[in-house]
Amino acid sequence: MPGELNVGAGERGRRPATIYDVARLAGVSHMTVSRYLRGTTGVGAESGRKVARAVALLDYRPNRMARIMRTRRSDRIAVILPDATGMMPTRLLTGAARAAHEAGYLLDLVALEGDAAARAERIHTLLRPEYVAGIVAFTPLHAWTGDRAPTEMAVPVVVDGEYDDNMRAQGVLADATPAAGIVRHLAGLGHRRFLHVAGPQAWASARNRRAVYEATVAELGLESYGVAPGDWGAEAGRRAAGWLPGSGVTAVFAANDRTAFGVVQGLRELGIDVPGQVSVFGWDDDEIGRCLVPALSTVSVDRERQGGDAVRRLLALLNGQEPAAPPEAGALNRLVVRDSTGPAPTRAV
């Protein structure tokens, strides 16, 4: 039994109130307080009121560490960041943090650094359920788990933009609408011969966009000149622009805005007009696209929601529910047609 109990609430430098302090002030046992706080059944109305008053008076907050230790259930969700260079939308992380917070979880930021051994060690630590309730990765898994499937891991794992095998079909479909919409839009403008500048194929989102691009081109009886390799960066787009002269391609679909930006710059250097001779479509609705001349046609993505959804899928797993279906494409993505796309030219480059 604790010896000295805290009494004052506003005392400066005082240790935070414990459940015992609340119990004493409310004139009940600490278990009544515990039950009341967790919403467990079995607390009298009168006791409840007294506890509530004491909690407010003492500004009591449960000690999460103690709770975790006792229940052996962590309240932390680990977010694994891409180790690759590059920018990450802040909104993605804040959206994830909000979703976690709303469910009473905290977000731990984890960067996997060092060599394979160091990574393995880090993962090994992470996998202990007492530390992390689950993991959300905004990056492909392969880099750090090797061939181990997420389902084999000790704690639930959600990889955003990726879908485990059972859901791959759904995943592709979910991501399909915008990519298919882009091709359809361009086809509607008279374009017949396309080039896709892909993202790194380790990323499911990049693979999906490419797959849907190819499927839609085939479905509509159009022609794909090919798929240029990319890495989400601008330079890849610039290099891809070099493929165009003499190719007969009139429309380029880049995996993201930075790459599309590179394509536009590369075309400019080649003296090819956008969208007069070649139309370019991006993906991300990065602000730079709005300022680009010509303004970039792109796909607007609700990053905040995307981050939140990833966490919510994990939470569903944690609660033993079927993982929620990936968000519908329409809710997340929206085609934004600007000036970088136009009618197909009568004569291709």
Structure tokens at 241: 């622009």
Is the Cβ of residue 38 or residue 61 nearer to its own copies in the bound state?
61
**Rounded Cα gap, residues 86 and 96, in angstroms:** 19
User: Alpha helices, DSSP H only, in 128-167?
Assistant: 142-145
**Rounded Cα gap, residues 234 and 218, in angstroms:** 27
Give min distance, CB of 71 to DNA, in A: 5
C-alpha dist (Å) from residue 44 to 28, 41, 173, 309: 11, 9, 52, 38
Give min distance, CB of 248 to its own copies, in A: 25
Is the Cβ of residue 15 or residue 347 nearer to DNA in the bound state?
15
Choose one: 1-9, 79-87, 118-126, 169-177; the region binding DNA (CB under 7 A).
1-9
Q: What torsion do the CA atoms of 254, 255, 261, 266 make, to the nearest 10 degrees?
A: -50
Q: Which residues pair with 272 in a beta bridge?
A: none
Q: What is the footprint of DNA within residues 26-85 (CB under 7 A)?
A: 28-32, 34-35, 37-38, 41-44, 46-48, 60-63, 66-67, 69-72
Cross-sheet strand order for the sheet of 251-254 = 223-228, 193-197, 251-254, 279-281
Residue window 222-241: x/- pattern of binding to DNA, with contact defined by CB under 7 A: --------------------
Is the Cβ of residue 88 or residue 169 nearer to its own copies in the bound state?
88
The DSSP letter of residue 232 is S
Is the Cβ of residue 67 or residue 98 nearer to DNA in the bound state?
67
Residue 150: which of its own copies, DNA, none does it interact with, CB under 5 to 8 A by kind? none
Q: Is residue 154 a contact point for DNA (CB under 7 A)?
A: no
Is the Cβ of residue 24 or residue 196 nearer to DNA in the bound state?
24
Helix or strand holding residue 252 (H, E): strand 251-254
Helix or strand holding residue 239 (H, E): helix 234-241
Residue 84: which of DNA, its own copies, none does it interact with, CB under 5 to 8 A by kind? its own copies
User: Contact positions toward DNA, by CB under 7 A?
Assistant: 2-4, 15-16, 18-20, 28-32, 34-35, 37-38, 41-44, 46-48, 60-63, 66-67, 69-72
